Amino acid sequence: MPATTMVADPLSQIVSQVIDDVSFSQTHTVSDDFRVYPKSSIDSVNTLQQEQRKRVEQTYGARAPSPDFLGSQLLAEYRGEAASLQLAKESGDPNFPTSISRMTGEQSKQFKKDMKQRIHEWEATVRDATGQTEVYPDQKASLRSIYELYRATKMKVLGVEPSPGTHGATAETSATGSRDVSQSVAAHAAGASSAPASAVGGARSESTRLSTSGAKDTTAGFTKALPGSAAAAGGEARAASSGAAAPGMASSGADWIKRIERVPLGTEDVSKMAEDALQTEKRRLKQVLHRFESDFEKYNGVRPGRHDRQGFTAEYHRYGELKNELMRRSQK
């Protein structure tokens, strides 16, 4: 019993002292963690507590996934499909069965959609981590099998037969899976208002590409403007200046450019055209631009940049007009 009294007395004294300091003399205050501190030091205590919480959050809090992590997830997710495509490529047999060839039409569409979303997520993470505006081929090299798989799936969805023995998994397509003509039009329009800025940006982009990509400006010196088209004439002038800056064009570059069949550009106001006419002209232009971009990549190893597309300025401009008009009508 005496022991209990000895313990109770100090506790009572402490409680009484706290009550007196907080309520009567008011020399102390209660902090957010329900502890009593002197008023003279409460600001310092609060600051230290905030810094401590911030450090804990930085060390142990949730973080955005890194490009390496998402890349490894992509490789693991599609390892089986990519392996079957590689086996088909090595066999040289155009009828060699792959995971893609065994899919139904709906399955391949869904597979392509899922892959495109995953690839875009990875590319967005790379851009955020590096501060770049686009992901370059050398950065995509680690996911080459993924891009080849996406390309093969896209060809199946579009009903395009791959070349014998390749199943669409050629080296030059490895870095292009998730782009199309519409994205090229957007990129071209963004840079059309400022030719010098586009040239500087293009030069910066090209400096980071693979050293094996060779002459990237092949199209600049060999494209021709359509008669009567002011936009094409402007593109021709810019292409000439770009070609002067790029030494030593390969002779084969002129050949593949000449093999692209250009179509006459419409001059009618798109707002007055029938929808069928809009769709028809847009489809024809898209075929031309898709052929140009595919061949450019095939012969140069990279996708064409803004300055590379200048020889097709008129086509890109007209395609953009048609697409925007169709989109405007669909939103009514």
| Higher local confidence (pLDDT), 325 or 185 | 325
Taking the whole predicted model, whether its pTM rises above 0.85 is answered as no
Q: What is the mean pLDDT of residues 265-276?
A: 88
In the beta sheet, which residues pair with residue 29? 37
Query: What is the residue-wise DSSP string for 258-303?
Result: HTS---PPP-S-GGGS-HHHHHHHHHHHHHHHHHHHHHHHHHHSS-
Q: How far apart are the first and last CA of the chain?
A: 89
Of 176, 183, 101, 166, the closest CA to residue 146 belongs to 176
pLDDT of residue 197: 36
Q: Which residues of 33-49 are buried (b: 16+ CB within 10 A; e: fewer)?
A: eeeebeeeeeeebeeee
Q: Predicted confidence band at 161 (pLDDT cuts at 50, 70, 90)?
A: low
pLDDT of residue 119: 93
**Segment 49-85, tens digit of pLDDT:** 888 888 888 888 777 788 898 989 899 988 888 888 8
Least confident window among 171-185, 193-207, 298-312: 193-207
Q: Is the pLDDT of residue 284 over 80?
A: yes
Q: Is the pLDDT of residue 251 over 60?
A: no
User: Which amino acid appears at position 134 of this protein?
Assistant: E
**Segment 194-226, tens digit of pLDDT:** 433 333 344 334 433 333 333 333 333 333 333
pLDDT of residue 8: 57
| Higher local confidence (pLDDT), 138 or 215 | 138
| Higher local confidence (pLDDT), 47 or 177 | 47
pLDDT of residue 223: 38
Q: What is the mean pLDDT of the chain?
A: 71
Q: Is the pLDDT of residue 165 over 60?
A: no
pLDDT of residue 183: 53
pLDDT of residue 171: 37
Q: Hey, is 30 helix, strand or coil?
A: strand
The percent of residues in the chain predicted with pLDDT above 90, rounded, is: 6
**Segment 7-25, tens digit of pLDDT:** 557 878 777 777 777 777 7
d(CA 43, CA 37): 10
